[in-house]
Each structure stands twice: as structure tokens, then as C-alpha cells.
Chains A and B, each alone.
Chain A
């Protein structure tokens, strides 16, 4: 191509390259003829990175995402900025999530007194109360227990909790991103209790963090003896500080705040504790005036991630076959099916599960759709788990819970696809 005068003019070339990429984004083909004649600049031109040395392997000894991915980040909002962003949450860009694992740097971050930075040498875990033998463990001693590795989501029970009275976030990151999923490595607490001997009167376990808020929660021993874990590994490396380095509780499927971070103490007792975050918060007020306390499991739930307000269909052409994709999850078991509605939940078709389907884990699902330019859709997904639970309609859920509950909202949610292919968050409800 060196003899092509047009291509030799670099400035002109890049101006045209820019025009072509704008075209690609807008889905139009203004320069289609030019493209056919001269070829795609991305192919015809030598790339910036293809003719010079790349970085030596000694650069980025802990690897970072491509600089071009800088918009893929956790985000927060002033609405949820309590405590100068130290009793606050930064949520996961689930529209950018791949598969069923959230990278550690994007895992949603919630704390009640800021992110603590714990010196692993000074880390201690004390286990006491109604046990035959109380113990204190160093981090090395904790990690010497036989480990298990499991994939589980952690979800803040306030995921979707700002929208009991109507949709507020035109964003899947904020409407459903108060959750993430990872492969965790740690030890079952029941394994440690083999050493300690739980006394027969023990009914409850207090988990307490060493952070500024001394975050605490009470957990029934049924769950402790089932699958509750103390974890130190996350996606093959140590927990991040935001996730409770060096060790946190993991209570699979249950409210994220029960998975106490920077864990320093477990105490067993006959009666529960009434911690701040299990009475003043994380309780679901019903229209009867009574509030549900100790509301443990995040119930069966799902969302469409593509399309979404962040990933619209404005670039689709008539007849394009497109994959509608989403996530389903249940803290009460394993996803068995996901249904998809194109009319806001009146009629459903069965979507297809994809990849690994694990208990209390994100599960991928998808449905292939032939897009008709100008069609208006109301995309609603609905998941079912092996405990028999299915997502209710908004009317069904608020019929019992009212609209003041804040937590554990798992009714079906809907994206409106407009004629232009834009995607808006809507709710289908009677009141």
C-alpha cells in the first residue's frame, strides 16, 4: 500500500479512520463505499503497537487492566454516601461482567466504617463462648486448616432496595449491581468446631469485625454447621482489603452484611445479640407494622444484563440476531430455569442456562432473538430455584411486603426497549 498516495497522508488517513469508527458506532454506512474501495483502516494501516517493542515482562509485575478499560469501574452515588463514603457502597458494573466470576478489583465494596487495612502479622481470630475450648488463631494457623474452594455470589440485601416505590436508576449497575460473585477459599467453621466442641445449648454465633465499626451479626448454628466458612482466598489470591483482608466470614447465599469482613471474633451463645446492623438496619418492615428480623437468604432473582440501559440496541440493524443475556442467582439453592418475557411478564418463553450451574452462585442464561428494527419490547426475566422458589411479580411481592421494606426485593424487573433501541428501566405494576 506504500504506493497509495491517499494512504501515505497520515493526517487524512486518521480523519477518515475516525469517521469510519463513528459510522460503526452509529450503525449507519455513510462511508460504506469508501470502506469497500480502500479497506478498513484498522486492517490496512500498520497499528501503533504492531511495529515497535511492547513492554518488557518486568513491567506491571502485578498486572492491570488495559488502559482502554478505564471506564469499567465500581461506582457510587451521593444517595448512598453515608458516613462520608465510609458507611457506604460502591457497586459492580455487571453490564461489563463476563461469566460468573467478578474480578477482585470490581467486586462490590460495602463497609460500615471504611476499608480497614489489617496487618496480617497482627491478625488474630478468637473463637469462644459456648464451646468446650476457646481458641485464638493467627492467620497462619487459620490457613493451616483443610481448605475448601467454592464459587458463591455475595449480594447486599439492599440490591434493588431503592426501587420498592418505583424505578429510580436507569442503570443495571445501580439497579442490580449491589452484588458480585467469586471463587472463595477458606475453611468450614464446622471443621474448626471439631476442635472446640460446641456446647449443646449454643444456638447463635456472633461474628465481629476488627474494623472501625466493629461490624457484628448473629448467625444461627444451623447455618454455621452447614456451609458457613471463614475465607482468605478470592479468585486465586488473597482477599482484597475491600473484601476483608486477611479473612472474612462467608455465609453462602445469605445477606452480604452477614459475611463479616476483617473478622476477629466468633462467639457462641444461647441467645442472639441484637447488633446495630440486624435491628436498626437489615430488617424488613411490613404493612402490619411488624418487621422481619434475621432475614437470611437472598431469594431467587435475575436480571437482563444485555441489553440494558448501559448496553442498548441502538446499533442493531433489522434482522440482526442478537443474544439476550443475563444473570440469575438464588441464595436458597441452585437455579433450575430462567424464563424471558418480551411483553413485561404477561407471556414467557424458556431461556437457556449457560456454563456451570452451581448452588448459591451466579448463573448465566441467554436467549437468541431476531431483532426487528423499530420494535418496542418489555424484557422481563424470571428465575426459578431448586427450593421451588420463583420470582414474584411486583404486585405479588408488595402485596405482602408493602413498599417500606428496603431489603430483599426480588420481584421481576423490566427493561423497556424503545423504537430507537434505547433501553430504559421500567416497572410493571398496578400501584
Chain B
């Protein structure tokens, strides 16, 4: 019943490194230790702590030991057609996988791509992929040149040019674009483009990024197909860390995130005491928000506690009639629809006034309905005009 052993085997089989036990951070300078905290920590792949189950507890949570390693065997095995229908993802060409994964046969031209783009994409992504309207740009020009802007940083000179992160200059793999176009685009009608249309749009986006594939310029006459697609090398393919491609890479990922200086973290190594006095760089200044900052909050910021101002609700004549008028005016209790000849000679304004204010022993004010005078008059007109039936 308790198949803890099986679970441990699962861990090992997935090349998860054995948890590294470290003595508890003794460097906390008397910092509070949460109750129930483990006396040793195990480092996770993210550089943080993991909390293995010890004595049926993981950190502060009890666990049911019977649930660990239990075989539930719910569900059923999907058939091949079902798998094929949902397994639409793409993975790029790598050393381990020279054909990538999920990249289908098909082709499309830059010319067809441009036509499709003008019909279905330009309204959001702008002319030639220039972006706008809250949707991302797909190109800002020559991909190879713009890749060189990725070292731009505006930390000293706010007026300087920042880095340009668009498909051509930044994205490491073209499979990402192909996959997202087919499954996620166009945004309001996703999952509607064919394989060939997806190749055509991808070709057009390569074209506006002024890219080359296998030494050949993706010019206006270019036709992209699967074989050519497999040869696309993005200019920024080596622009990311840690490495995630290949076999047995997870220990390397773990080592990367185990080192705080890789990602701007600050770790008090064992024995270190955190600074409590005179901790600051002498060069610091107080930086205020410039030009009022961003404050177009929707809804506007408001922390008062009051009743909301009443919204103006459009009058629903039939609903109001049914709920507030029909009980009397559809019976002998009060004049019904079209039966007003005896009341209107004093003028319609008198009828309105009686209705709004109510009459002694008869009409309740506005029939008890919560209506503006104008809406109430509309209801009176409706009743008098014999439109009810």
C-alpha cells in the first residue's frame, strides 16, 4: 500500500539529483525561525529550498502517507487520433533531434503571406509588423543588425536607445513563431489557419525581418517549406542562459540558479550576518516619480467606503410593465391598455402627474416602480397607446 519505495525510484529514474542537505542558515542574526521549519534544507533546481516529506510532514503541512505511491489508475489511454489532434506543439532542430518535433510538411510564399497579413494581421500588428495598438511588433528592421542592440542598456543614459526585442532580433527559435501563429493567431479567431497559410505567414515575417535561410535571402519571391524551415538559424539562438538543450542538462540549470550572482540575487552565505546599520551606498539619492507617473487606473484609485453612484439602467418597458403595472392595469382594478378615453381629456400632463405622485386610494406613486420621471412617462405612453396587446 505504501509505495514510498516506488516513488523514490521514480525520483532517481528522472535523474533528479539527491537532495543536498545543508545545515540551517545560522547566519540570520537572530532572525525568526518559523515554527515547524525543517532543521535542514534541500536545494531545489531554482536555487530555493525544497521540503521533503519527513515524519508525514512537508514544511508545516501534514500529508497522508497512504497517498504517496498509491496507484489510482484513473482515466483511459487516449487513441492515436486524439493524441494527434492535441499534440500540435513544435520543437526545434537540435543535436539530439535533427528533424525537430511536430514540424509538418507544407509550404507557403512570402507573397501569399503578405496577402494574408494584410487581410488578417495588419489591423493589430501594423504595417510591415511595426506593431501598435497594444499588440507586439513583429519586426523593427534587419534582424542581424538589431540583434546587436541587445547589449544596449539605459541605466546610465535614459535618453539612449534601448535593446530591440522582436522576433528577428531576439527569439531563439523559429518554431516558436510557427507554432504560435497556427495555435494562437489571429488573436480573436485562433486555431483557424492551415499549415500552408502558417508557412506563408512565417515566410512573410522572415521577409520583413530581412532574414536569410541557409544563405538565401528571404526576398519577395521566396517560398518557405518544411525542409527550408528546418534550416532557419535565428541570429540570437545563443543569446540565452542557462543552457537547456541536450541530454542531462538539468544539473547545469540547477548549478546556474544555485549561484546568486547569475541573476542579481543576494545570498547571505552561511555565517554571514546581514547589515543593520550604515548599509547604504553613499552615492544614493531619493528618486521621485517623474511627470506624475502612470495613473490612468481603471477604475480610478479610490479608497472611500460609500454607496456606488447609481448607474443609469436602460428602461425595459415590457419587463417593467409585467412587474409593476400588469397586476392592476391588466385587470378590472385600473384602466387597461387603450382604455383611456375617460382620463385623457384633462390633458396628458395631469395623467403623468397623477401617476408620478399617486392618487388617493388608487394609483401608488409610479406604481411602486423605481423609475425616473422620464421613464415613468414612457410607461404611461406605452399603456395609453394600446401597444400592450
Contacts and interface: CB of A to CB of B under 8 A. Distances in A.
A244 interface: no
Contacts of B266: 389-392, 396-397
A421 to B, nearest CB: 15
A71 interface: yes
B222 to A, nearest CB: 23
A275 B48 CA distance: 24
Interface residues of B, number: 147
A169 B239 CA distance: 31
Given A222-B16, A426-B286, A95 B303 contact: yes
Contacts of B316: none
Contact of B70 (A194, A299, A353): A194
Contacts of A190: 7, 10
B81 interface: no
Given A71-B303, A284-B263, A170 B295 contact: yes
Given A310-B303, A358-B60, A353 B91 contact: no
Interface stretch (A26-34, A49-57, A137-145): A137-145
Nearest to A405: B264
Contacts of B304: 71
Interface string A371-413: 0000000100000111111111101111111111100101000
A321 interface: no
Interface string B28-53: 11111111010001011111111100
Nearest to A348: B276
A148 B43 CA distance: 22
B334 interface: no
A404 B154 contact: yes
A289 B29 CA distance: 37
A330 interface: yes
Interface in A160-203: 162, 165-171, 173-174, 190-195, 197-203
Contact of A297 (B46, B172, B306): B46
Interface string B1-38: 00100110011011110000000110111111111010
A276 B179 CA distance: 9
Given A294-B244, A357-B34, A387-B267, A425 B87 contact: no
Interface string A65-78: 00111110101111
Interface in B231-250: 239-242, 244-250
A274 B297 contact: no
A153 B268 CA distance: 24
Interface stretch (A37-45, A98-106, A229-237, A336-344): A336-344
A253 B46 contact: yes
A195 B71 contact: yes
Contacts of A345: 279-280, 284
A16 interface: no
A272 to B, nearest CB: 5
Contacts of B78: 126, 128, 134-136
A213 B74 contact: no
A58 interface: no
B81 to A, nearest CB: 12
B179 to A, nearest CB: 8
A143 to B, nearest CB: 9
B13 to A, nearest CB: 5
Interface in A415-429: 416, 424-429
Q: Is the interface of B mostly helix, strand, loop or mixed?
A: loop
B284 A83 contact: no
Contacts of A386: 24-25, 34, 37, 41, 49
B155 A431 contact: yes
A78 B166 CA distance: 21
A128 to B, nearest CB: 6
A113 B186 CA distance: 10
B301 interface: yes
Contacts of A270: 96, 247
B83 A126 contact: yes
A271 B97 contact: yes
A271 B246 contact: yes
A118 interface: no
A269 B241 CA distance: 20
Contacts of B242: 292-294
Contacts of B45: 220, 222-223, 296
Contact of A83 (B14, B74, B134, B267): B134
Give the contact-size bracket for chain A: 35 or more
B241 A287 contact: no
B306 A68 contact: yes
Nearest to A330: B48
A203 to B, nearest CB: 6
A403 B241 contact: no
Nearest to A138: B75
A86 interface: yes
Contacts of B25: 336, 386-388
A283 interface: yes
Given A81-B134, A222-B254, A386-B24, A71 B86 contact: no
B67 A388 contact: no
Nearest to A288: B151
A141 B74 CA distance: 6
A168 B294 CA distance: 6
A206 interface: yes
A330 B46 CA distance: 12
Contacts of A353: 32, 34
B92 interface: yes
A280 B280 contact: no
A214 B190 contact: yes
A227 B296 CA distance: 39
B160 to A, nearest CB: 11
A6 interface: no
A429 B287 contact: yes
A267 interface: yes
Given A202-B14, A294-B253, A400 B263 contact: yes
B190 A70 contact: no
Nearest to B256: A292
Q: Give the 9 A-B CB pairs with smallest separation, nearest first.
A: A332-B48, A337-B31, A146-B67, A333-B49, A357-B34, A297-B46, A289-B151, A400-B264, A135-B75
27 contacts: A84-B134, A126-B78, A138-B75, A150-B61, A166-B287, A167-B289, A167-B293, A197-B10, A213-B183, A213-B187, A220-B253, A254-B46, A271-B97, A279-B176, A291-B240, A292-B240, A293-B172, A310-B303, A332-B46, A378-B286, A384-B31, A384-B274, A387-B43, A393-B281, A414-B286, A428-B286, A429-B285
